[in-house]
Structure 1
Amino acid sequence: MNQEQMERMEHGKGFIAALDQSGGSTPKALLAYGIGADAYSNDEEMFRLVHEMRTRIVKSPAFCSDYILGAILFENTMERKIDGSYTADYLWNSKGIVPFLKVDKGLAQKENGVQLMKPMPGLDQLLQKAVQKNIFGTKMRSVIWLADKEGIRAVVEQQFTLARRIAAAGLVPIVEPEVDIHSGEKEEAEKLLKDEIKKQLFRLSPDTRVMLKLSIPTKDDFYLDLMEDPHVVRVVALSGGYSQEEADEKLARNHGLIASFSRALAQGLSAGQSDKEFDQTLSESVRAIYRASVT
């Protein structure tokens, strides 16, 4: 594990950029960027186009370590290059930004008010590849829809079972049990979620470190006590479908909570923009998200 990267993630000022749209969400990300489905005829062309979009974001002068601590990549992005370097190496060596990798394979069907992660049969090989590609940590996402105690327990147990395997491989896992922002039981679900996370943190070995990626809580500063746990490197927040402005406003009310935004980061970016327009739009987004993250 890179200690310089650990120091940056634990104590640095800034936020994490989520650039990890995978096969299922890539068409939506490209469409938001102004590239419709008629622009590609197969997955390889689609992934080439989305890599060009991500490359444009990463190479922009607005995408810099003054504001951004880390970036989460999709497996396909990890295996591609930017200016001759693998994406993770470009991020760290050229930008000073810590690389993470999305490792989950999507969500299972809804059951007990939650969606667990689908099985990950090739996880150990993927983790080995991530270490070889100089990835620092991983991210995996589940979704909580209702305040169902058994469902939430199952989500958190699955997340931490996998987190222990990831940590054993030498990577820092980001545990992401997202509570849907539109849930009518959001606040109660967050209480149950925090209780289950605390139980799992207590069971970790003393040297195991994790990060938590959570929905911005209904009650301000609700996750402050999780930030104080010695196992927790950082608690980060997903935008969860809020507009960038709304997500920033809510985030700013939560001290110590930093952003890990995807849609909110790319909001307003378009393939048709000139480099000047693109960089200006991205710069405004990056600075606004940064301001909300350093409260």
Structure 2
Amino acid sequence: MNISDELQATIGDMVDGRRGILAADESSGTIAKRFASVGVESTEEHRRFYRSMLLGTEGLGDYVSGVILFEETLGQKDDRGRPLPEVAWGQGIVPGIKVDKGKGPLPGAPGDMITFGLDGLEERLQGYREQGARFAKWREVYPVSPCNPTQLGLAANAEMLARYAAVCQSCGMVPIVEPEVLMDGDHSIERSAEVNEVVWHEVFHALHRHGVVLELMILKPSMVTPGKECAKAPPEQVAEYTMRSLRRGVPAAVPSINFLSGGQGPEEATANLNALNQLWHAPWQLSFSYGRALQEPALKAWEGKSGNAGRARAALHKRARLNHLAMLGEYEESMEKES
């Protein structure tokens, strides 16, 4: 099988109109904060047990087609000694890997950020493939202020995403391209729409320059929402602004748009995804790639106690199923009360 066929096979396994992606790629610092919220110390064994518990959820593969793993997790095993990528694929869930190395200030563009990790990426990807990963993810973040993102910030971040995506495809790994417009701040939903549109335009210009095949990638963008210091927008408004901006900035060749939750609560993220799929027919699959919005109920149910694994898995299964229904535009708020 040549590289193009490998990429197409992965897209075929991940994009089916009914399933989304579980983001379980929290950095060491982020997972420590999540664990601390339920009184759990972030040891390697706790992280291994927690993530293997999630991947061992019976029926998860009915609603989740891919899982983004942290580098540490890719090499870990479940209690039966099975590598976690094998546990995922045993349910038809394609294992993937976060490959960026975190972010820092962008020199020359005060307030903007840039993500690190291109050095040695090709060699790392080859190693990740040998461990079972079939796709990768890279995140660039865009703070919103009256002055940000700057033109330099827009160009530099788009260039990083495009270079990463081109390397992935050359190695037979499907790239997930994640340009996250941050919710931090008091900006309006109109300002959010303006920023998202210009970000997506810049990103796709860069992807074209680098020869990235759009049919063999997945976009993981923000939804268009007001800043978190403002009142929340109703799902119908989020859907309207998001869809309008997507139609202006994202080519129809992209097979799937898997939204990040970006600070939204579990029920909020599901309701917004449902509204998007009810609005009108889109040229892309509109799906999810949620981290906290899928995991938060499971984490609270677990509390670091192995005896709570069943409850935690049930909580994850419920959220995955409700987001599957939201992809079909069939979610209703009353479903949240179902056991």
Q: TM-score range by the shorter chain?
A: 0.7 to 0.9
Between Structure 1 and Structure 2, which shows a larger proportion of helix residues? 2
Alpha-carbon distance between aligned partners in 2 of 1:203 and 1:53, rounded to the nearest angstrom: 41
Q: Which residue of 1 aligns with 2:56?
A: 59
Q: Which string of whole-angstrom CA distances, capped at 9 and with x for unpartnered residues, describes residues 213-263 of structure 1?
A: 111124131324666533x24211111111111111222222332111111
RMSD of equivalent CA atoms: 2.2
Larger Rg: 2
Task: Please report the TM-score for the alignment, with normalisation by the length of structure 1.
Answer: 0.87
Q: Which residue of 2 aligns with 1:278?
A: 312
1:49 aligned onto 2:46: yes
Deviation at 1:168, TM superposition (A): 0.8
Checking the alignment, whether the CA contact within 8 Å between 2:271 and 2:326 is kept in structure 1 is: yes
SS in 2 for 1:205: coil
Listed as ranges, the matches of 1:134-283 within 5 Å are: 134-146=132-144, 147-183=149-185, 184=187, 185-205=191-211, 207=213, 209-218=216-225, 219-221=241-243, 222-224=245-247, 228-230=251-253, 232-255=254-277, 256-269=285-298, 270=302, 271-272=304-305, 274-283=308-317
More off after superposition, 181-190 vs 220-229 = 220-229
Checking the alignment, whether the CA contact within 8 Å between 1:238 and 1:260 is kept in structure 2 is: yes
Task: Please report the TM-score for the alignment, with normalisation by the length of structure 2.
Answer: 0.77
Q: Which string of whole-angstrom CA distances, capped at 9 and with x for unpartnered residues, describes residues 151-184 of structure 1?
A: 1221111111121112111101111110002342
Task: Call closer, same or farther: CA 1:262–1:194 in 2, change over 3 Å.
Answer: same
Task: Call closer, same or farther: CA 1:293–1:113 in 2, change over 3 Å.
Answer: farther
**Aligned residue identity for 1:244:** P
Q: 1:80 aligns with which of 61, 76, 94?
A: 76
Checking the alignment, whether the CA contact within 8 Å between 1:9 and 1:234 is kept in structure 2 is: no
SS in 2 for 1:18: strand
Q: Which residue of 2 aligns with 1:11?
A: 16
Q: Which residue of 1 aligns with 2:129?
A: 131
Task: Call closer, same or farther: CA 1:191–1:11 in 2, change over 3 Å.
Answer: same
Task: Call closer, same or farther: CA 1:206–1:263 in 2, change over 3 Å.
Answer: closer
Alpha-carbon distance between aligned partners in 2 of 1:133 and 1:236, rounded to the nearest angstrom: 24
**Aligned residue identity for 2:11:** M
Q: Which residue of 1 aligns with 2:28?
A: 23
**Aligned residue identity for 2:220:** K
Checking the alignment, whether the CA contact within 8 Å between 1:14 and 1:294 is kept in structure 2 is: no
Task: Call closer, same or farther: CA 1:2–1:168 in 2, change over 3 Å.
Answer: closer
Alpha-carbon distance between aligned partners in 2 of 1:291 and 1:226, rounded to the nearest angstrom: 26
Checking the alignment, whether the CA contact within 8 Å between 2:65 and 2:94 is kept in structure 1 is: yes
Checking the alignment, whether the CA contact within 8 Å between 1:74 and 1:101 is kept in structure 2 is: yes
In structure 2, stretches of 5+ residues that fail to align are 1-5, 226-240, 278-284, 330-339
SS in 1 for 2:276: coil
Task: Call closer, same or farther: CA 1:108–1:124 in 2, change over 3 Å.
Answer: same
**Aligned residue identity for 2:35:** L
Q: Which string of whole-angstrom CA distances, capped at 9 and with x for unpartnered residues, describes residues 121-142 of structure 1?
A: 3322210111112211101111
Q: Which residue of 1 aligns with 2:67?
A: 71
Checking the alignment, whether the CA contact within 8 Å between 2:165 and 2:175 is kept in structure 1 is: yes
In structure 1, stretches of 5+ residues that fail to align are 38-45
Deviation at 1:206, TM superposition (A): 7.0
Checking the alignment, whether the CA contact within 8 Å between 1:252 and 1:293 is kept in structure 2 is: yes
Alpha-carbon distance between aligned partners in 2 of 1:257 and 1:105, rounded to the nearest angstrom: 28
Q: How many residues align?
A: 284
